[in-house]
A and B are shown apart, each in its own frame.
Chain A
Amino acid sequence: MRIHLTVNGTERTWDVAPGDTLLDVLRREGFVGVKKGCGAGDCGACTVLLDGRAVNACLLLAVKAEGHAVVTIEGIAQGGRLHPVQEAFLEAGAVQCGYCTPGMVLSAVSLLSHNPDPDEAEIREAISGNLCRCTGYVKQIAAIEMAAARMRESR
């Protein structure tokens, strides 16, 4: 069957199987920044934004994206410049193996778009569905706080 959606600002029409997940389809179409981890909604490596909200692409049937706007990690840099959350992750050293990073960054982007001044508890809650096995989350939280401050200043 055919679905119509917007991915990273570009309209797409894709043929999908009725039981394909959005994760399957995005990776097949070349958006490999969307990582495949547990396939059960536990790890958050497959996080994408659906109409601005972070969701597990592994738990979303592709047909549910019909008519919606999807943003992957490939789509948040603008004009060759990294998103402030990406920059902050680099500066704070919030990346080790990097497998969880796209999902973690998108959860942070989703949080900051709805709550520009989150406290630490709100940040922890926002990334509670993104598991990182390398770190203790300290640097990621620092990075999100840094990005939030910079984004507020630039408004």
Chain B
Amino acid sequence: MAVHQVETIVRPTSVEEAWEARRREPHASRFLAGGIDLVLYVPPTVSTLIDLSSLGIAAVRQEGADVVIGAMATLTDVLESPLVGEFAGGFLRDVLRHVASPLQRNAATLGGAAVRAHPWSDVIPGLLVLGARLDVFDGKRSTVDLSDARARSESPSPLVLAVRLPGASRDGGGAFEKFARTGFDVGVLNCACFAIIERGLCRTARVAVGGTPSVAQRLPRVEETLVGKPLSASQIALAAQTAAGVVDVRDDRRATAEYRRVLTVVGVRRCLENIAGLGTEVKE
């Protein structure tokens, strides 16, 4: 269905030009990436879309140890990228296989998914546990943690140029669990875990649970139970039970809070077992 309220499409050819267009009309404009979300949920005040297609921010590249994914790369581009496939055992690629249908992955962008952060987003928990950062522009270029960027409330929010997978996460392993009938469904809950194991002990552990029905959050208390410990069955069970105690779940039309709490235990346990079973690289 046509989005009748949209009156103007701006096609900037530079980041500065795009930002200036957005800054000029903070309430009446939005950045247009893949556009899927705007077609479905365009805010009523918005009459101008700023198409980011000509900014040259769609490539996936290596920058030092980081993998930098241009904000306009589609989810399919990311899924098929060898650089992403080699990073953290291909964890992000495995997450994206659970996201929507190929039809939508061929159009949706990673930058858009990171910015919109729907409560049911399967992308956000995966990025959170990888420690993803965002390259942004708001008159000047900077790099911010994804979790910090989501907490900021300035208007307009910065233009996201890229999603940066930090090299520090390269040698870890991750696992993702989504409770839904198919990847195309909105999940009842999702869960992502990531660990770097050295000499049999967790040097780094990150756990995020989403679709609670709020957008994914990391669970620091669960992570604390894992750091410095082996990923043994008993440690995994303890982490899963801790997660159930601290996760912020609520009822909605898809599931009760009680059911989501049970799923949290199952999701965290399965993810951590998968990581342990994958035999995350042990560094000497």
Contacts and interface: CB of A to CB of B under 8 A. Distances in A.
Interface centre among A18, A40, A44, A53 (most CB of B within 10 A): A18
B36 interface: yes
B103 A129 contact: yes
A55 interface: yes
A68 to B, nearest CB: 10
A47 interface: yes
Q: Kindly state the interface size class of chain B when it binds its partner.
A: 20 to 34
B6 A18 contact: yes
Contacts of A64: 32, 34-35, 51, 53
Interface string A3-24: 0000000000000011111001
Contacts of A110: 102, 106
Interface in B39-54: 39-40, 49, 51, 53
A1 B9 contact: yes
Interface in A75-128: 107, 110-111, 125-126, 128
A126 B102 contact: yes
A59 B74 CA distance: 14
Given A18-B49, A41-B40, A61-B35, A129 B5 contact: no
B32 A53 contact: no
Interface string A21-34: 10010000000000
Interface residues of A, number: 32
B156 interface: no
A54 B32 contact: no
Interface in B93-117: 97, 100-104, 106-107
A63 interface: yes
Contacts of B4: 17, 19
B29 interface: no
Contact of A128 (B35, B53, B76, B183): B183
A56 interface: yes
Contact of B2 (A24, A56, A126): A24
Given A19-B4, A63-B9, A50 B106 contact: yes
A149 B77 CA distance: 27
Contacts of B103: 41, 44, 47, 54-56, 107, 129-130
A146 interface: no
Contact of A129 (B1, B6, B9, B102): B102
A71 to B, nearest CB: 13
B104 A56 contact: yes
B51 A128 contact: no
Interface centre among B34, B49, B103 (most CB of A within 10 A): B103
A18 B101 CA distance: 26
Given A54-B103, A54-B106, A129-B103, A60 B6 contact: no
12 contacts: A17-B4, A17-B6, A19-B7, A41-B103, A56-B103, A56-B104, A56-B107, A58-B39, A59-B36, A59-B107, A60-B39, A128-B102
Interface of B: 1-9, 32, 34-36, 38-40, 49, 51, 53, 76, 97, 100-104, 106-107, 182-184
